[in-house]
Structure 1
Amino acid sequence: MSFNDEEIAYLRSQRLARLATVGADGQPDVVPVGFEFDGTHLYVGGFNPTRTRKFRNVRAGNRKVAIVIDDLPSVDPWIPRYLRVYGEAELVERQGQLGTAPYMRITPTLSWSFNLEGLPYTHDREVKVRRTVHEPAPGA
C-alpha cells in the first residue's frame, strides 16, 4: 500500500515538518525542515545541507528516519492533524525547489495519519488513526 488520496493532498498542502535522525552514538536528533513530496518519496534539502547533522547521520549509515508533518488549523474548536512517517533515507543529487543540490530522499516504510479531514477533536469522539505499511516499489 501507499498513501491514500487524502494523505497525498495533505502532504502537498504542507511545507514544514520535523525530521528525526539518529547519530553514531545512538542519540536521536529532531529538527524542523522544509520538504517536498513527489508522490512516492519525501525530499529534504536546505542551504548547504551536507554540513548538517541530519545529513551526517544518514551518511554515517544511520538510514532509519522519522518525519512528522502536522498542523493545527484551529484552536477553537481544537483541530489537530498529522501524518507520521517512518522510512529509510539516502542522500541523492536532484533538481528541487532549491535547484540542483544534495537532498535526503526518504522512502516511506510505515505511516500513520490522523484527522486529515479536519474535524474538531472532542473527547467524546473516537480517535481513528490510519496505519499503512508501505510496500517497496517494484524493482527497488
Structure 2
Amino acid sequence: MAFTDEEIAYLRSHALGRLATVDAGGQPDAVPVAYEFDGEVFWVGGTGESVLRTRKIRNVRAGNRRVALVVDDMVSFDPFVARGVRIYGDADGPVERTGMMGPGVFLRIVPRVSWSWNMAGEPVGANWYEARRAEH
C-alpha cells in the first residue's frame, strides 16, 4: 500500500515538517526542516557547507538511519481542525542533488510506514481523528 492521491496532494502542498533522528547515544533530535516529496521519497537538506555539520546529517552518517518525519497543520482552532501525515522511514546520504533551493546536499528518506489523519480537513467530532496506516 502506498500514499493515497489525497495524501500525496497534501504532502506536495506543504514544504515544512519536523524530522527526528537519533544519535549514537540514543538521544532523539527533532528539528523543523524544509522538505521535497517526489511521490516516492522525501528529500531533506540544504545548500552550503554548514548543512554537513547538522545533527540530522551526522546522525544518519553515523549509521542511525531510522527517522520520523511529521507534516501537519492547524486549519482552524474554532472549530478545531487539524490534519497531518507521520512517516517512519530509512534515510541515506547525504546525496548531492539540485533541490528546491538549488544545488545542495540532501538526505533521501524512503518511507516504511505512514499514518495520516483528517486529509479532508473536517472539524473534530466526539472522538479524535481516526488515522489511516499504510505500509510502503
Gaps of 5+ in 1: 135-140
Task: Quote the RMSD (CA, aligned, Å).
Answer: 1.1
User: Superposed, which structure 2 residues align to 1:77-88 within 5 Å?
Assistant: 77-88=79-90
Q: Secondary structure at the match of 2:6?
A: helix
Equivalent-residue separation in structure 2 for 1:125 and 1:5 (angstroms):
25
Equivalent-residue separation in structure 1 for 2:13 and 2:100 (angstroms):
15
Aligned residue number for residue 93 of structure 1: 96
User: Superposed, which structure 2 residues align to 1:17-96 within 5 Å?
Assistant: 17-47=17-47, 48-91=50-93, 92-96=95-99
Equivalent-residue separation in structure 1 for 2:23 and 2:129 (angstroms):
34
Aligned residue number for residue 10 of structure 1: 10
Q: Secondary structure at the match of 1:39?
A: coil
Aligned residue number for residue 117 of structure 1: 120
The CA deviation string for residues 53-106 of structure 1, in whole angstroms up to 9 with x for no partner, is: 000000000000000000001111100101000000011111101222110110
Gaps of 5+ in 2: none
**Normalized against structure 2, the TM-score is what?**
0.94
Q: Secondary structure at the match of 2:10?
A: helix
Q: Percent identity?
A: 56
Equivalent-residue separation in structure 2 for 1:40 and 1:94 (angstroms):
16
**Structure with more strand by fraction:** 2
The CA deviation string for residues 95-119 of structure 1, in whole angstroms up to 9 with x for no partner, is: 1012221101100000000001100
In the TM superposition, structure 1's runs of 4+ consecutive aligned residues that sit over 6 Å from their partners are none
**Normalized against structure 1, the TM-score is what?**
0.91
For this pair of structures, how many residues does the alignment match? 133
